[in-house]
Amino acid sequence: MQGISQRDRTFTLVGVLTALLLAGIDHTIVSTAGPAIQADLRIPPSFYAWITTSYLVASTVMMPIYGKLSDIYGRKPILLIGVLLFLAGSAFAGLSQTTGQLIAARTVQGLGAASLFTSALAVIADLYPPETRARYMGLMSATMGISSVVGPLVGGLVTDTFGWHWAFFINLPLGAVAVWLIVARMPNFATRRGSPVDIAGAVTLAIGVVPLLIALSLLGEGGGAAVDPAVLATLFGVGIAGIIAFVIAERRAHDPIVDARLFRGRTIGLATAAMFVFGGAFLFTVIFLPLYLVNVMNVSATSAGFALTPLMLGMVSTSIGSGQLVSRFGHPRRFIQAGLAVLLAAFALIGFTLDTDTSRLMVTVMMVLVGLGFGPSLPLYTLIVQNAADPKDIGAVTATSTFARSMGQVIGITVFGAIFAAGLLAAAGPGADPDHMAAMPDDAITSAVRLLYLAGLVPIAIALLLTSLIPDAAIRRRPVARREEAGAIEAHPEGLHADERLHPDDPSGVS
């Protein structure tokens, strides 16, 4: 951090947040632009989901790879590569004339987006010491929350006004600003210069993760009923073989992409496991609640998008607020526990009380509680793993833990999609067709949504248990001027800075 002015820090932060906002908006913008895209390009129903799946698969598999590369070559070039890939994919997507072109363009977008998600979090760790880092982590989580609300609204507005092509072209001016800020103002942080690139690990990771993600995505589209079992078996078989090969390659690598040693420590291992489980319960809320609002409460699709705003505002407020409070009082684990306790209460409230005649006000209250519960976990798990990592491993640890949460989301939406379909068929009775949601009885849809939230209590309870096992730790303040001016780093045996280490026995939380 030596020699970095406050102005350059601010410009770097703005550039990173702009890039993150781009990736976040594009992650959801297709939800409202999708029908117009399908109609214009005449996309077959069997390929429609690949507009999203191609992006998801590409971004997920690249996360740990970008994390390690940013440690070796620095955050700046890796982030810049990510933004440029994302913008190239956006331009090609907007110019697409066929289904294949669009899917290829979305894949390029996903390859770039992975760098934006992972490098942005690592840059915060490079720019700010632990006692102030939490507030900026909260700001980044808030940016992602805002983008998830803005994305569908922007997608609908731009598509209706200018056409679906501009849902992708709109990324280009914002991306140009991000590129300028990164090139002109961002310093380059590299912690493992000279380390060899783990090519075998990267290849085997892709061989293992890509087929698994594709198989899970196919299952999530409808329980896998329309998918050839032989195709699913092949995908899972190749994926498992690839993961085994990846584990073998990592054991032999001089500097592996995912160093198992880092995750054997109690703090990083438990926090990463909690992020995986937490990710499993995250996505179904924003996917299935609109189904209830549209089909039971009879709100329009646009209104359903707006109706998610209370949930997102609750999430944004506690993401930012918990970051501020941790910066003031320390003990990130305790704030995560409080959020998960609120989330358990919110899920139980929905699971036991939601009905066909529940008032719109009560549904809004439930959604606010869900958002308040989700908020603290988004920035603070990352803060915990970064604080417990050696500075030279910040990129790899951040990216791998984020990858774990993304994999949890993919697996979670597949599992909860199957639970919803089973609950819907059980409540609607024989002969019901889940593909025609509008024809389903209101009480059947409500019953299936209640079942989802009751099932969601399980991963949240597991995440709370895992979090409780993480050593309670205060983020201790350090003499900022002396340490930052000197730029010195003194390594703790478990990877903590000497006077940033976590102190389980410190009752004050901050020294």
Give tens-digit pLDDT for 239-272: 999 999 999 998 888 888 888 887 888 899 999 9
Contacts (Cβ under 8 Å, ≥6 apart) of 56: 110, 213, 217, 410
Crossing angle of helices 394-428 and 50-73, rounded to 10°: 160
Interatomic CA distance for residues 13 and 186, integer angstroms: 9
DSSP letter for 160, please.
H
Find where tokens 């998830």 sit.
148
> Which band of pLDDT confidence, cut at 50, 70 and 90, is reported for residue 119?
confident
Handedness of CA 415, 417, 422, 423 (dihedral sign): positive
Average pLDDT over every residue of 432-437: 58
Does the pLDDT of residue 288 top 60, yes or no? yes
Interatomic CA distance for residues 288 and 311, integer angstroms: 13
> Which band of pLDDT confidence, cut at 50, 70 and 90, is reported for residue 436?
low
Could you write out the DSSP letters of every residue in 472-505? P--B----HHHHHHHT---B-TTS-BTTT-B-TT
What confidence score (pLDDT) does residue 337 get? 95
**At CA 394, angle to CA 391 and CA 395, rounded to 5?**
140
Choose among 102, 104, 120, 221: nearest CA to 167.
Answer: 102
> Which band of pLDDT confidence, cut at 50, 70 and 90, is reported for residue 497?
very low
> Which band of pLDDT confidence, cut at 50, 70 and 90, is reported for residue 127?
confident
What confidence score (pLDDT) does residue 491 get? 33
Per the DSSP assignment, residues forming a β-bridge with 497 are 491
Better-scored residue on pLDDT, 152 or 114: 114
Check if the beta carbon of residue 36 is closer than 8 Å to that of residue 159: yes
| Architecture of the domain whose range is 258-511 | Up-down Bundle (1.20)
Instruction: Look up residue 126 and give its two tokens.
Output: 């490079």
Interatomic CA distance for residues 107 and 151, integer angstroms: 19
Calculate the average pLDDT of the chain. Answer: 80
Choose among 157, 184, 171: nearest CA to 55.
Answer: 171
Check if the beta carbon of residue 204 is closer than 8 Å to that of residue 249: yes
Interatomic CA distance for residues 29 and 305, integer angstroms: 12
> Which band of pLDDT confidence, cut at 50, 70 and 90, is reported for residue 126?
confident
Does the pLDDT of residue 487 top 60, yes or no? no
> Which band of pLDDT confidence, cut at 50, 70 and 90, is reported for residue 509?
very low
Instruction: Look up residue 386 and give its two tokens.
Output: 């970064």
CA dihedral 141→143→146→152, nearest 10 degrees, is: -110
Interatomic CA distance for residues 265 and 494, integer angstroms: 8
Does the pLDDT of residue 500 top 80, yes or no? no
Average pLDDT over every residue of 287-299: 76
Contacts (Cβ under 8 Å, ≥6 apart) of 177: 15, 18
What confidence score (pLDDT) does residue 473 get? 66
Angstrom distances, CA of residue 449 to CA of 157, 422, 443: 29, 11, 10
End-to-end CA distance of the chain: 22
Q: Mean pLDDT lowest for which of 42-51, 119-128, 208-217, 434-443? A: 434-443
Does the pLDDT of residue 277 top 90, yes or no? yes
What confidence score (pLDDT) does residue 232 get? 86
Instruction: Look up residue 42 and give its two tokens.
Output: 């005449």
Interatomic CA distance for residues 271 and 427, integer angstroms: 37
Instruction: Look up residue 273 and give its two tokens.
Output: 């496991």
Average pLDDT over every residue of 337-347: 95
What confidence score (pLDDT) does residue 495 get? 36
Instruction: Look up residue 257 and give its two tokens.
Output: 């992409």
Instruction: Look up residue 419 and give its two tokens.
Output: 């639970």
Contacts (Cβ under 8 Å, ≥6 apart) of 126: 1, 75, 189, 394
What confidence score (pLDDT) does residue 492 get? 36
Interatomic CA distance for residues 446 and 417, integer angstroms: 15
Question: In the CATH hierarchy, which fold is given to the domain comprising 1-197?
Answer: Growth Hormone; Chain: A; (1.20.1250)
What confidence score (pLDDT) does residue 455 get? 94
> Which band of pLDDT confidence, cut at 50, 70 and 90, is reported for residue 112?
very high
Q: 422 exposed, middle or buried (CB, 10 Å; 0-12, 13-18, 19+)? A: middle
Average pLDDT over every residue of 104-124: 88
Better-scored residue on pLDDT, 413 or 474: 413
Greatest alpha-carbon pair distance for the chain in Å reads 72
pTM of the model: 0.79
Does the pLDDT of residue 481 top 70, yes or no? no
Interatomic CA distance for residues 267 and 70, integer angstroms: 23
Question: What digits encode the pLDDT tens for the residues 204-235?
Answer: 999 999 998 888 877 766 555 567 788 889 99
Choose among 385, 383, 389, 380: nearest CA to 496.
Answer: 389
Check if the beta carbon of residue 73 is closer than 8 Å to that of residue 82: no
Q: Count CB-CB contacts under 10 A for residue 486.
A: 11
Q: In a 3-state reduction of DSSP, which class is residue 509?
A: coil
Does the pLDDT of residue 330 top 60, yes or no? yes
Q: In a 3-state reduction of DSSP, which class is residue 440?
A: coil
Question: What digits encode the pLDDT tens for the residues 375-397?
Answer: 898 888 988 998 888 888 888 88
Q: How remote is the C-alpha of 196 from its chain's centroid? A: 28
Question: What digits encode the pLDDT tens for the residues 80-106?
Answer: 999 999 999 999 999 999 989 999 999
Could you write out the DSSP letters of every residue in 394-438? HHHHHHHHHHHHHHHHHHHHHHHHHHHHHHHHHHH-TT--TT-GG
Angstrom distances, CA of residue 418 to CA of 184, 219, 222: 48, 8, 7
Q: Count CB-CB contacts under 10 A for residue 272.
A: 22
Angstrom distances, CA of residue 222 to CA of 216, 226, 252, 413, 415: 11, 7, 40, 11, 11
DSSP letter for 195, please.
P
